A and B are shown apart, each in its own frame.
Chain A
Amino acid sequence: MAADIETVEQVQSVGADYKYGFVTDIEVELAPKGLNEDIIRFISAKKSEPEWLLAWRLKAFRHWLTMEEPNWAKVGYPPIDYQDAYYYAAPKTTDGPKSLDEVDPKLLETYEKLGIPLREQEFLAGVAVDAVFDSVSVATTYKAKLEEQGIIFCPISEAVANYPELVKKYLGSIVPYSDNFFATLNSAVFTDGSFVYIPKGVRCPMELSTYFRINQANTGQFERTLIVADEGAYVSYLEGCTAPMRDENQLHAAVVELIAHDDAEIKYSTVQNWYPGDEEGRGGIYNFVTKRGACRGRNSKIAWTQVETGSAITWKYPSCILQGDNSVGEFYSVAITNNRQQADTGTKMIHIGKNTTSRIVSKGIAAGRSDSTYRGLVRMQAGATNARNHTQCDSLLIGDQSGAHTVPYIESTNPSARVEHEATTSRISDDQLFYCRARGLTSEEAVSLIVNGFCREVLQTLPMEFAVEAQKLVGISLEGSVG
């Protein structure tokens, strides 16, 4: 009960509007608008990349030109003009800061406003943060301390320079350059993102966190994250995102690749709060993201937790390839849509190895005139002897103008593998609301409380700091959804 009261207080304490909608006025360097091989060469040169990476980018770009934008998801948006955008935007002052002291104070201020005080985080919170502002990483904290244990946590551009062999070995090994329209675009133009390597047997002593911020108008953000957990390693990684309020739509097409070797475990948590657009559906981020992890080794484990409250459009299916025997994949998701938001999200669990298990818990909440779709695939391949999957998808509708949809695909070719899928759709009952209001809660507080209860199973899997933020977001995202 204490936690519930806390939720209510938190919701009360936060204003009704999107509070991350400000713009930071900072000098930026932009590449010319548009997308062609010269722009890609420009990006690669800006980052002083080796020849192999440029070649890889160009291969992706040429392949992308032959691809069609996918249209199978239950989202609608006008055609995107890929030529009318900047593919590179960098704060001018950042030429690879050596420490926080060299970071532009305006940027530090921005992160303070976002609730990510980089200095304090470094000194107090015990969370290592990599902050990505438009196209580049502006600060990575705690680096030295992590290096003592051989942990690499740095911008991926830095990793390309300092650990080329590692990057070359793993980049594109899970999401190949030709994977899908948006991932291929990302492969061609990705600018920054985080790189994490946890050596054999090391348990990362703190949460690693990346904070993504889109600031510049007319830019797309294309970050690329690569996390490798070597044998017996463990890491918990957190990701948060915000963007200014703008009337136009901005594209975010990220790629995340995770690799877990024998006995390794990666926990990847996201609180996605990109600007969702206004009540009429003007503006907002188009969030087309490819996230995939491979449980390469025996007894390895990858767990995705996501709280998706932002973006005008979410198109995202964090997946697990369960290759190693006894490996485990988990997907916990809360997706909240309000106003005109559209979310089409879910997961793929590909069972290849013996005794692999996966668990999917998805909670979709649709309010306003929004649509929320769970789309998932569970595949039991012929070698997945004794594999197990359990999927629970629950949808909650708030108001009679929203839609909630469940589209699971189940494919099995192994008799000893067991797949179980359950899904329900319901609404918050008047009785529940009345009960809360009879105890003094406003409608909005009641909704927040009930929805947080509905999502509890997922929110519990988040690290503490994020769980609190996520609970708040649940309340805020649904403001105005009940009369």
Chain B
Amino acid sequence: MPVSLKSRPEPPDRPMLENAMPPPLLSDRHAATAARLPGSGLAWLGDLRGQALASYRAEGLPTRKLEAWRKTPLDHLAGLDLAPAELTAPPAVDTLPPWQRELVQGPSIVFVNGHHHPGLSRLSGLPDGVLIDSLAHLLEHRPALIEAHIGRLATPKGHALAALNAAFMGDGLVVRLPAGIRLDQPLHLINIAAPGAGAIAIQPRHLVILEAGAAMTLVESHTGLGDTAYFANAVTEISLAPKARLRHIKAQLETPAATHLASVTVSLGEDALYDAFTLNSGALLARQETYVDITGRQGEARVNGVYLAAAGQQQDNVTRIVHDTTDSLSRQNFRGVIDAGGKGVFQGKILVKRHAQRTDGHQLNRVLLLAPGARIDAKPELEIYADDVKCSHGATAGELDEDALFYLCARGIPPAAARRMLTEAFAGEAVNEIADQTLRQSFMALVRSWLDTRFGAPA
């Protein structure tokens, strides 16, 4: 049939459009907060926040009508009387949880409710020229540096949560490594949520800029205190110049009252490496979004993770690796362990652009369902426009292999212990992607302590 303007008859009794929606979450709090945000006197920043707010107001909080949020309801947030985490409140924390204190040997920078806590941070002995500071501090003292980088990679358009973050952004970690500088010890970015009586929104904005040939390991840990609900919406922008190498390891162990949304956007220069690992085991709902744009030849992205969901929890992982140049490589290895009443979501994508010849991309998402009532929704995706590529993905879901269980039992290991051992090995295959041995062991210990709660201590 000929193609011309669409002229379908109107349905006879189409309902009236619903009344205008209420303003989306937190947007009505902006006016009262804006004047007190760090850098509120900076015109460019005011514009940035204003545009982001408008964009967020237009789009609203993501709903399940959006393909990317089809399996991830945020309805529960509407029921919270969220307030932006207070700027002026005295630090609510004076000691760190032991696991967090011991996770990394090296310098650390602490954020409580998204605001820098200098008293708990340890940043001495860094090489000359290395900048590790808080966004709030730099907005006051070196706004030009921030202006050059902030909002360049995580743009608000089409990404309502990044827009919401941008509307309120005022603090976070800023790291800049000059060319050729390598940090020997990992930098530990410690995040603690300490909501008081009322629910709070914590929206840090982190910037990591590695100049040519610079290298470091950034370890992020997330935890919370008390049982008041909180909403963390972190946005991280990472810019890696040619030959820069960033290893980015994260442990998310928020409280069961938390909603933890985090997006990381990475721009990868020639021969640069972004090597990420995320352990998600905390929060009521956690969602890790990792967007890597490989724009430099021979860039390499490794995005790996383990997600552990107990009853009532949902753990999401969203990845999008864009191969935008020739001869680049990406690897993804995710393992999910889901218990009864828990839910996992994996949406991974490899996008190879037309000119990105000789791309080598692989993605794997494997999930163990430990008991009836566990649920996984996975969507591993390949979108490929170049022909000389080697791209593949794999995805599995199921329970432990019966043959393997029997093999262990035939060696005298009781069934419960055998299950635990195989589950640990299963998750361990992704933890093994962590290059640093000490960190690998620390993260394996975190996985084990989760398994202890599920299976009891090992045999």
Residue numbers of A with Cβ under 8 A of B are: 36, 62, 65-66, 72, 77-85, 218-220, 248-251, 380, 382, 395, 397-427
The answer to whether B382 and A423 have CB atoms under 8 Å apart is yes
Interface-facing stretch out of B313-321, B390-398, B450-458: B390-398
Known contacts A395-B384, A402-B387, A426-B389, A408 near B4 by CB under 8 Å = no
Report yes or no: A400 in contact with B6, Cβ–Cβ below 8 A: no
Interface segment, one of B176-184, B294-302, B370-378, B404-412: B370-378
A406, B381: Cβ atoms under 8 Å? yes
B3 and chain A: residue at smallest CB distance: A78
Instruction: Mark the stretch among B7-15, B214-222, B440-448 that contacts chain A.
Output: B7-15
What CA separation (Å) do A380 and B375 show in the bound complex? 10
Of the residues B367, B377, B379, B387, contact of A427 by C-beta under 8 Å: B387
Residues of chain B within 8 A of A72, CB atoms compared: 67
From A66, A403, A407, contact of B381 by CB (8 A): A407
Is B25 on the interface with A (CB-CB < 8 A)?
no
Bound state CA distance, A66 and B15, in angstroms? 10
Return A62 CB to nearest CB of chain B, in Å. 8
Chain A residues lying within 8 Å of B391, measured Cβ to Cβ, are: 424-425
CB pair A405–B384 under 8 Å, yes or no, is yes
- CB of B227 closer than 8 Å to a CB of A: no
Nearest CB of chain B from residue A411's CB, rounded to whole Å: 5
User: B389 — nearest CB in chain A belongs to which residue?
Assistant: A425
Tell me, yes or no, whether B357 is within 8 Å of chain A by CB.
Answer: yes
Do A412 and B397 touch across chains, with their CB atoms under 8 A apart? Answer: yes
B-chain residues with CB within 8 Å of residue A402 when the two chains form the complex = 385, 387
Tell me, in angstroms, the Cα distance from A402 to B383 when the chains sit together.
Answer: 11
Given contacts A36-B9, A400-B386, A400-B387, whether A406 and B393 have CB atoms under 8 Å apart is yes
Contact A419/B398 with A397-B384, A414-B372, A425-B384 known, Cβ cut-off 8 Å: yes
CB-nearest residue of chain A to B396: A420
A248 adjacent to B2 (CB under 8 Å): yes
Is A425 in contact with B376, judged by CB distance below 8 angstroms?
no
Minimum C-beta distance from A83 to chain B (A): 5
Residues A412 and B5 in contact, CB atoms below 8 Å apart: no
> Residues 191-221 of chain B: 1 if any A CB is under 8 Å from the residue's CB, otherwise 0?
0000000000000000000000000000000
A422 neighbours in B (Cβ, 8 Å): 392-394
CB pair B398 A406 closer than 8 Å: no
Indicate if the CB atoms of A66 and B383 lie closer than 8 Å.
Answer: no
Point out the residues of chain A lying under 8 angstroms from B357, CB to CB. Answer: 400
B147 on interface, CB distance cutoff 8 Å: no
B420 vs chain A, min Cβ distance (A): 16
A66 touches B14 (CB 8 A): yes
User: In the complex, which of the residues B8, B379, B380, B399 contacts A65, with contact meaning CB atoms closer than 8 Å?
Assistant: B8
Distance in angstroms from A257 CB to nearest chain B CB is 25
Q: Nearest Cβ in chain B — how far from A132, in angstroms?
A: 18
Which chain A positions have C-beta within 8 A of B389?
A: 397, 425-427
Q: B161 near A: Cβ within 8 Å?
A: no
Binding site for A on B (CB under 8 A): 1-12, 14, 67, 354, 357, 367, 369-399
Q: How far apart are the CA atoms of A423 and B392 in the complex, in Å? A: 5
25 example contacts (A-B, Cβ-Cβ < 8 A) are as follows: A80-B1, A81-B5, A82-B8, A85-B2, A249-B1, A249-B3, A382-B372, A398-B387, A400-B388, A408-B378, A410-B376, A410-B377, A410-B380, A412-B367, A412-B397, A413-B372, A415-B372, A417-B398, A418-B397, A418-B399, A423-B380, A423-B382, A424-B391, A427-B387, A427-B389
| CB <8 Å contact, A412 and B379 | no
Cross-interface CB contact of A251 among B1, B354, B392, B393, cutoff 8 Å: B1
CB distance from A400 to the nearest CB of B (A): 5
When A and B form their complex, what is the total count of cross-chain residue pairs whose Cβ atoms lie within 8 Å? 166
Name the residue on A nearest B376 (C-beta): A412
User: What distance in Å separates the Cβ of B58 from its nearest Cβ neighbour in chain A?
Assistant: 20
Smallest CB-CB separation from B71: which chain A residue?
A411
State in angstroms the CA–CA spacing of A399 and B386 once bound together.
8
Q: Are B390 and A426 in contact (CB under 8 A)?
A: yes
A219 — nearest CB in chain B belongs to which residue?
A: B1
Q: How far is the CB of A243 from chain B (nearest CB, A)?
A: 12
Given A218-B1, A411-B377, answer yes or no on A418-B398 (Cβ-Cβ < 8 Å): yes
Q: A415 and B398 in contact (CB under 8 A), knowing A83-B7, A399-B387, A425-B391?
A: yes
**Of B11, B389, B395, which is in contact with the most chain A CB atoms at under 10 Å from its CB?**
B395
- Quick check: A409 and B3 within 8 Å, CB to CB? no
Structural contact, A403 and B388, CB atoms closer than 8 A: no
A85 in contact with B1 (CB, 8 Å): yes
Beyond A400-B354, A407-B379, whether A218 also contacts B2 by CB under 8 A is: yes
Instruction: Kindly identify which residue among A78, A409, A414 contacts B369, using a CB–CB cutoff of 8 Å.
Output: A414
For A85, A251, A407, the residue with the greatest tally of chain B CB atoms inside 10 Å of its CB is: A407
Query: Are B372 and A403 in contact (CB-based, < 8 A)?
Result: no
Given A65-B12, A403-B384, the answer on whether A423 and B1 have CB atoms closer than 8 Å is no
Residue of A nearest to B346 (CB): A410
How many angstroms between the C-alpha atoms of A265 and B373 in the bound complex?
32
Q: How distant is A321 from chain B, measured CB to nearest CB, in Å? A: 19
A78 to B6, CA, bound (A): 9
Residue of chain A at shortest CB distance from B366? A420
Q: Which residues of chain A have C-beta atoms less than 8 A from B377's C-beta?
A: 409-411
- Determine the residue in chain A with the shortest Cβ distance to B1: A85
Contact residues in B for A85 (Cβ distance below 8 Å): 1-2
Chain A residue numbers with a CB within 8 Å of B8 are 65, 82-83
Contact B387 A408 (CB under 8 A): no
A427 touches B1 (CB 8 A): no
- Given known pairs A80-B6, A411-B376, the reply for A250 and B1 (CB within 8 Å) is yes
Contact check, B380 vs A421: say whether CB atoms are below 8 A apart.
Answer: yes
C-alpha gap A424/B394 in the complex (Å): 9
CA distance A310 to B395 in the complex (A): 31
A80 vs B6: C-alpha distance when bound (angstroms): 6
Residues in B with CB closer than 8 Å to A406 are 380-382, 393
- Return A271 CB to nearest CB of chain B, in Å: 24
**Centre residue among A84, A219, A250, A415 by max chain B CB count within 10 A:** A415
Residues in chain A near residue B379, CB distance under 8 A: 407-410
**CB within 8 A of B384: which of A404, A416, A417?**
A404
Also in contact, A408 and B1, with CB within 8 A (given A65-B12, A66-B14, A427-B387): no
Please tell me which one of the listed residues A83, A397, A412, A425 contacts residue B392 in the complex, with CB atoms under 8 A apart: A425
Q: Among B371, B381, B385, B386, point to the contact of A415 (Cβ < 8 A).
A: B371
Shortest C-beta distance, A122 to chain B (Å), equals 34
Looking at the assembled complex, report how far the CB atom of B353 sits from the nearest CB atom of chain A, in whole angstroms. 10
Q: How far is the CA of A249 from the CA of B130 in the complex (A)?
A: 62
The CA of A411 and the CA of B67, in the complex, are separated in Å by 15
Nearest CB on A from B238, distance (A)? 27
Given A84-B1, A405-B384, A408-B379, also A424-B398 (CB < 8 A): no
Q: How far is the CA of A84 from the CA of B180 in the complex (A)?
A: 67
Find the A residue at minimum CB distance from B354: A400
A379 (CB) vs chain B CBs: closest residue? B377
Q: What residues of A have a CB within 8 angstroms of the CB of B386 in the complex? A: 397, 400
Would A408 and B395 be within 8 Å (CB), given that A81-B5, A251-B1, A425-B389 are in contact?
Answer: yes
Shortest CB distance B375–A (Å): 5
Q: CB distance A65 to B2 under 8 Å?
A: no
Given A415-B371, A415-B399, verify A81-B3 contact (CB < 8 Å): yes
Cβ A419 vs Cβ B396 within 8 A: yes
Complex Cα distance A82/B2, Å?
Answer: 9
User: Which 5 A-B residue pairings sit nearest by Cβ, starting from the closest?
Assistant: A85-B1, A418-B398, A415-B369, A79-B6, A397-B387
Known A-B contacts A395-B384, A397-B384, A411-B377; the reply to A416 vs B2 at CB < 8 A is no
The smallest C-beta distance from A273 to any residue of chain B, in angstroms, reads 20
Which chain B residue has the least Cβ–Cβ distance from A409?
Answer: B379
Contact between B378 and A410 (Cβ–Cβ < 8 Å)? yes
Q: Which B residues touch A250, using CB under 8 A?
A: 1
Complex Cα–Cα for A83 and B7 (A): 7
Complex Cα–Cα for A160 and B88 (A): 77
B7: chain A residues at CB < 8 Å are: 81-84
